[in-house]
Structure 1
Amino acid sequence: MEKTEWYLEYEIQYNRPGLLGDISSILGMLSINIISINGVAKSRRGMLLLAKQEEQILRLKSIMQTMDTIKITKVRKSKLRDKLAVRHGQYIQSEGDDRKTFRFVRNELGILVDFMAELYKKEGHKLIGIRGMPRVGKTESIVAASVCANKRWLFVSSTLLKQTIRNELIKGEYSKDNLYIIDGMVSARQSNEKHWQLIREIMQLPSVKVVEHPDAFVQTTDYKLDDFDYIIELRTDENEEITYEPVNQFAQEDGFSMFDF
């Protein structure tokens, strides 16, 4: 029988010597393998486990609930967020009850790139939006993640080095293995029907599309925020407010020449 990967998270109530050894012994007696373990928050540890049967995990949970030194906080089949939490030692923050909006700050670019790279690796159509103020690191994160995921990236509209507006793609650029990057602010300012026709064609491809400034993008298209599979918010710090007034002012002053860097 093939083993299933599980995520176990617990909060330490009393951190006495030998606590982790006791837990490891219980896992060994139940024939559950430990893939990795790491602290994921203050006083919390996360573990990725391998088990042949769900009954093993249920027995583990039952035993650990009798221990007064720890408190079980999560037991479930592992998700992408769980794997990244154990890998990086911190949990990705989501926006309240919105399961598709994830928040990052600039000093978390490493985990953001890792997160996006894992999303890029999934087969089929994926529409990802990323919000953030100018020069916070949106474009560099998108490109770095595409390199990690071994994806060829193409700018459909951009201001990375100079303003880019594509009206057509050449042979070989229409591919489900490519990653298409659209700057919603730049595209929103275009009345060029060829550009919008190209975007509509790209949206039909079973590939990954990343839209910077998705709010501006949906204001000038038939797409809605509900059409996005994931929304990523990147801030300089946790208290920064993402607003488009400074973005518009910056674009006018700088002529879209260096939007993100």
Structure 2
Amino acid sequence: MKKTEWYLEYEILINRPGLLGDISSLLGMLSINIVMINGVENARRGLLILTEYDEQITRLKSILQTMDTIELIKLRKPKLRDKLAVRHGRYIRRETEDPKIIRFVRNDLGLLVDFMAELYKKEGHKLIGLRGMPRVGKTESVVAASVCANKRWLFVSSTLLKQTVRSQLIAGEYGPDNIYIIDGVVSKQRSGEKHWQLIREVMQLPATKVVEHPDIFVQATEYNLEDFDYIIELRNHENEEITYQAAGDSGFSQNNGFSMFDF
């Protein structure tokens, strides 16, 4: 019989020696296998477990709720953020007012890459926005996640190595396993009509699109921020403000915000 994966999270109320052993022994007595365990938040522990029967989870829940040394927080089929929390020892942070906004700092780059790689593995159209100040690691994270997900990345517009503004793709560059990367600032300031025709074509493909600087991108297109499935914000530190300072009609300059070669 196929085993089912569950996520168990509990908070330690009385941290005494042998507590983890007691939990492990309880799971063993119920014939529940531990796949992975880690601290996920302060005094909380998260576990990925495998069971053959739902009755095992029912019994486990009833026993855990009687223990005075822990408080049962979650016992459910694992979500993506649960799996990432166990792998990395911390949760990804969502914006409370807008759940599609997810925040990371540079110290979270491993978690960010893992998170994006899991998004890339899902089939179909996905539109991901990526905000961040210059040289914070945006493009590098997108590329690293593509490698982790075994996907091919394609720059529609970018300044990673040199300024790239494409007006067409070749036959082998169309496909659902490609990750299409668009720099909103470069596309807005340095492109022509053929480039925008290509972007409209790419946006219709059943594949993942990652748009760096989505706020600038939507200024030049018919799309809006509500069209994005996720908005990822990457900062050097938690209190950093992501800003775009316009310099007249020319857009951004080195003296007033971003330079074109900062991206």
| TM-score bin, normalised by smaller chain | over 0.9
What residue number does 2:79 align with? 79
Q: Which residue of 2 aligns with 1:231?
A: 231
Query: Are 2:253 and 1:249 aligned?
Result: yes
Paired-residue identity, %: 73
After TM superposition, the structure 1 = structure 2 runs for residues 125-164 of structure 1, keeping only pairs within 5 Å, are: 125-164=125-164
| TM-score under structure 2 length normalisation | 0.92
* Offset at residue 37 of structure 1 (A): 0.3
1:93-112 aligned at under 5 Å gives the runs: 93-112=93-112
Query: Counterparts of 1:7 and 1:35 in 2: how far apart (Å)?
Result: 10
Cα distance in 2 between the residues matched to 1:23 and 1:32: 11
Deviation at 1:29, TM superposition (A): 2.1
Q: Which residue of 2 aligns with 1:4?
A: 4
Structure 2 Cα separation of the partners of residues 124 and 213 of structure 1 = 22
Q: Distance in 1 between matches of 2:155 and 2:256?
A: 21
Q: Indicate the RMSD between aligned Cα atoms, in angstroms.
A: 1.9
Quote how far apart the aligned CAs of 1:99 are.
Answer: 2.9
| Gap runs ≥5 in structure 1 | none
Mean CA deviation greater in 242-251 or 157-166: 242-251
Q: CA deviation at 1:239?
A: 0.7
Question: What are the superposed Cα offsets for residues 157-212 of structure 1, whole Å, 9 maximum, x if unpaired?
Answer: 11112221111111211121111100011112256111111011111111111000
Q: Which residue identity does 2:45 align to in structure 1?
A: R
Instruction: Give CA-to-partner distance per residue, 1:127-181, whole Å, 9 cap, x none.
Output: 1111111111101111111111121111101111222111111121112111110
Where 1:244 maps in the other structure, the secondary structure is coil
2:2 and 2:232 mapped to 1: Cα distance? 34
Give the unaligned 5+ runs of structure 2: none
Q: Which stretch shifts more, 38-47 or 245-254?
A: 245-254
Residues in 2 aligned to 1:244 and 1:58: alpha-carbon distance in whole angstroms: 52
TM-score by length of 1: 0.93
SS of aligned partner of 2:171? coil
Amino acid at match of 1:21: G
> Residues of 2 paired with 1:43 and 1:255: CA distance?
44
2:25 is aligned with what amino acid? S
Q: How many residues align?
A: 259
Is 1:174 aligned to 2:174, yes or no?
yes
Could you say what secondary structure the match of 1:139 adopts? helix
Structure 1 residue 77 displacement after superposition: 0.7
**8 A contact 1:146–1:153 mirrored in 2:** yes
Q: Distance in 1 between matches of 2:126 and 2:222?
A: 17
Q: How far is 1:251 from its partner? A: 8.8
Instruction: State the AA in 1 paired with 2:194.
Output: K
Paired position in structure 2 for 1:33? 33
